[in-house]
């Protein structure tokens, strides 16, 4: 069933499926943002990574929505959310997220960000500190890109311009631990096909935004009592030892998982267990 309603001069389309979840769209800087809201209670905001969309959280949402209000946005240029320019800084994405949370009257929440979603959560924590109940970085880091990493981003943008679909397929496959690229080949194909719906402009805008993000360890440290880092020991993207050191110097609890960058797939049951208990034990 599709309902169209107008609230505070903002047009919202609601797709209501079996009374279980609500998929909404809202306008931000003349662009459409898509997000999903499920459940009631303490707000848990789930932020997907680069080349992903809100559907990455489907399994986790099922376990959290019984007790909490779970909010899953499509970040700028991803999923069904549109682009606003040729660069999407993490601050841009944080402001778009605030438009959604402000509309939903969320005054504080648990922010869980996967990869690029972690960068967005940290940018949000810098701009809207009073709304942070806790921060969880999932396969993500508070450090800025190294010079080598920035050069890799530039090369990636060149590859995108030459053949975006090839770039997407290779990039997503390489997020998994090598042995898991065979085990999860069907799931990888699904993610690749979804990501291939993204425009070249949106892919480059996100790459540019990630490249210029600053170090935000101070934001992580500010919330160290309630923060959490979850890292894959065989992550092909982020060095596990570097994440371990970052957690140690900032006094942040670290949970280690055995596989790669896609913990929500490669270590799904363990991740669901840890995140559920993490949220349950928070008081704010």
| Predicted pLDDT at 22 | 76
Q: Contact at 8 Å (CB) between 205 and 83?
A: yes
The domain limits of the chain are: 38-280
Q: How far is it, in rounded angstroms, from Cα 26 to Cα 22?
A: 13
Q: Around 57, how many Cα atoms within 13 Å sit in the side-chain half-sphere?
A: 28
CATH class assigned to 38-280: alpha beta
pLDDT of 7 strictly over 50: no
pLDDT of 2 strictly over 80: no
| Predicted pLDDT at 20 | 59
The partner residues of 81 in beta bridges, in order of sequence, read: none
Q: Which of 108, 156, 149 is nearest to 132 (CA)?
A: 108
Q: How far is it, in rounded angstroms, from Cα 138 to Cα 229?
A: 6
Q: What is the mean pLDDT of residues 208-226?
A: 95
Instruction: Give just the sign of the alpha carbon dihedral 177, 179, 182, 187.
Output: negative
State the angle between helix axes of 164-173 and 147-162 in degrees (0 to 180), rounded to the nearest 10.
130
The phi and psi torsions of 254 (rounded to 5 degrees) equal: -120, 130
* 195: CB partners within 8 A, 6+ apart: 51, 52, 168, 172
Q: Please report which confidence band the pLDDT of residue 283 belongs to, taking 50, 70 and 90 as the band edges.
A: confident
Find tokens 């050069």 and name the residue.
Answer: 151
| Predicted pLDDT at 139 | 98
Q: What is the pLDDT of residues 104-139, one digit of tens each?
A: 999 999 999 999 999 999 999 999 999 999 999 999
Q: Please report which confidence band the pLDDT of residue 3 belongs to, taking 50, 70 and 90 as the band edges.
A: very low
Distances (CA, A) of 168 to 151, 204, 209: 18, 12, 17
| Predicted pLDDT at 155 | 97
pLDDT of 13 strictly over 90: no
Q: How far is it, in rounded angstroms, from Cα 229 to Cα 247?
A: 7
- Indicate the average pLDDT of the chain: 92
Q: What is the dihedral of CA 147, 150, 156, 161, to 10 degrees?
A: -120
| Predicted pLDDT at 63 | 86
Distances (CA, A) of 102 to 94, 107, 109, 213, 237: 12, 8, 12, 24, 33
Find tokens 């929500």 and name the residue.
Answer: 264
| Predicted pLDDT at 19 | 40
The partner residues of 111 in beta bridges, in order of sequence, read: 45, 135
| Predicted pLDDT at 17 | 39
pLDDT of 1 strictly over 60: no
Q: How far is it, in rounded angstroms, from Cα 167 to Cα 141?
A: 23
Q: What is the mean pLDDT of residues 255-265?
A: 98
| Predicted pLDDT at 216 | 97
| Predicted pLDDT at 208 | 98
Pairing state between β 132-138 and 109-114: parallel
| Predicted pLDDT at 269 | 96
pLDDT of 12 strictly over 50: no
What's the pTM value of the predicted model, to 2 decimals?
0.93
């Amino acid at each position: 069933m599709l309902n169209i309603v107008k609230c505070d001069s903002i047009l919202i389309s609601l797709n209501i499926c079996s009374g279980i979840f609500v998929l909404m769209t809202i306008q931000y800087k003349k662009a459409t943002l898509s997000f999903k809201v499920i459940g009631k209670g303490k707000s848990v905001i789930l932020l997907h990574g680069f080349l992903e969309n809100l559907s990455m959280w489907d399994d986790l949402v099922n376990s959290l929505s019984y007790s909490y209000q779970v909010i899953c946005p499509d970040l700028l240029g991803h999923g069904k959310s549109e682009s606003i320019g040729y660069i999407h800084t993490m601050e841009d994405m944080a402001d778009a997220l605030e438009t959604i949370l402000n509309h939903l009257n969320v005054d504080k929440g648990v922010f869980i960000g996967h990869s690029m979603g972690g960068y967005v959560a940290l940018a949000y924590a810098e701009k809207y500190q009073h709304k942070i109940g806790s921060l969880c970085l999932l396969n993500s880091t508070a450090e800025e890109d190294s010079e080598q990493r920035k050069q890799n981003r530039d090369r990636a943008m060149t590859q995108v311009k030459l053949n975006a679909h090839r770039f997407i397929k290779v990039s997503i496959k390489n997020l998994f631990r090598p042995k898991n690229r065979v085990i999860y080949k069907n799931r990888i194909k699904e993610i690749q096909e979804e990501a291939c719906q993204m425009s070249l402009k949106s892919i480059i805008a996100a790459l540019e935004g990630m490249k210029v993000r600053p170090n935000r360890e101070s934001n992580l440290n500010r919330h160290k009592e309630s923060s959490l880092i979850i890292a894959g020991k065989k992550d092909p993207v982020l060095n596990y030892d570097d994440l371990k050191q970052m957690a140690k110097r900032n006094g942040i609890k670290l949970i280690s998982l055995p596989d790669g960058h896609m913990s929500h797939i490669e270590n799904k049951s363990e991740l669901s267990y840890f995140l559920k208990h993490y949220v349950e034990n928070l008081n704010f």
